[in-house]
Amino acid sequence: MIDSHCHFDFAPFSEDPAHYLALARQAGVNKLVIPSVGVRNWQAVRQLATEQDGVYFALGLHPFFSADHTVAAERQLAAELEAESLLRAKNRSHCVAVGECGLDFAIAEVDRDQQLTLLSSQLRLANHYGLPVILHCRKAYPELLRLLKQIPPVAGGVYHAFSGSLEQARQMIDLGLKIGVGGTITYERAKKTRAAIAQLPLSALLLETDAPDMPVAGFQGQPNRPDRLVAVMDALVTLRSEPREEIEKVITLTTAELFHIPH
Ligand SMILES: [Zn+2]
């Protein structure tokens, strides 16, 4: 299985990445994608992907940290993606996406225009380099949808940490995006999200932990970990009609194809 969204450069993983990767592999999670949050961690995520097997990364400017992103950061992102595209031509890049990017109108000091501008430029960069996008969205769904219709992601992408309605998921899928299924579905009370995930086409789903965030049911208060992707898979199996092997096979293939990860 592939954890399509894991902040593996954060604590506690940063203290002993090999240990946490071994735990993940024992659980059957042998690949992961690390999204970045801004200039400050691009080097760390790249280094992890270089040093550890089965680790891939994305470069982006996370809306939660909008206040940190200077105008220069946008130019730097373009330069980094250009450098990665040259490596990709030689099959030596582990950069598989642009992200995480998106809109977060739930944070205290929101500059909506800045966030919209930053997201637009990241959508254009992703299209220019033929990379998928990893999207984050909180309290900004209508604005996100509008922008995605203006600048459709040509190489697709994922709407990460999905916790919306069936209609929203379908709108995202119509735009060529996948739905990131995380720990939310391990909670019985997440009725709307669980019902939506049960009805969507299997080929539209990716699995993710968002570790160390989004703890799965039963582990609240602890940092989440990539090996707990299994708990998300277990919950998904109970919601779906397909057998477990098929769910695992289809989702792993979908994830590998989206990010052009060898499988
Ligand atoms: Zn994230």
Q: Which domain holds residue 143?
A: 2-259
Binding-site positions for a divalent metal cation: 5, 7, 100, 136, 160, 210
Which value, to the nearest 10 degrees, does the dihedral of the CA atoms of residues 54, 58, 63, 67 take? 110
Domain count, the chain: 1
Each residue's pLDDT tens digit, 183-192: 999 999 999 9
- 210 CA distance to ligand 1 centroid (A)? 5
72: confidence class by pLDDT, cuts 50, 70, 90: very high
Each residue's pLDDT tens digit, 76-98: 999 999 999 999 999 999 999 99
Binding-site positions: 5, 7, 100, 136, 160, 210
Is the pLDDT at 67 greater than 90? The verdict is no
Query: For position 195, which CATH number holds?
Result: 3.20.20.140
Please say whether the beta carbons of 36 and 76 come within 8 A.
no
- 90 CA distance to ligand 1 centroid (A)? 29
Q: Which residues pair with 102 in a beta bridge?
A: 136
Please say whether the beta carbons of 68 and 25 come within 8 A.
no
- 248 CA distance to ligand 1 centroid (A)? 22
* pTM of the entire predicted model: 0.97
Mean pLDDT of all residues belonging to the chain: 96
Each residue's pLDDT tens digit, 111-126: 999 999 999 999 999 9
pLDDT at res. 71: 85
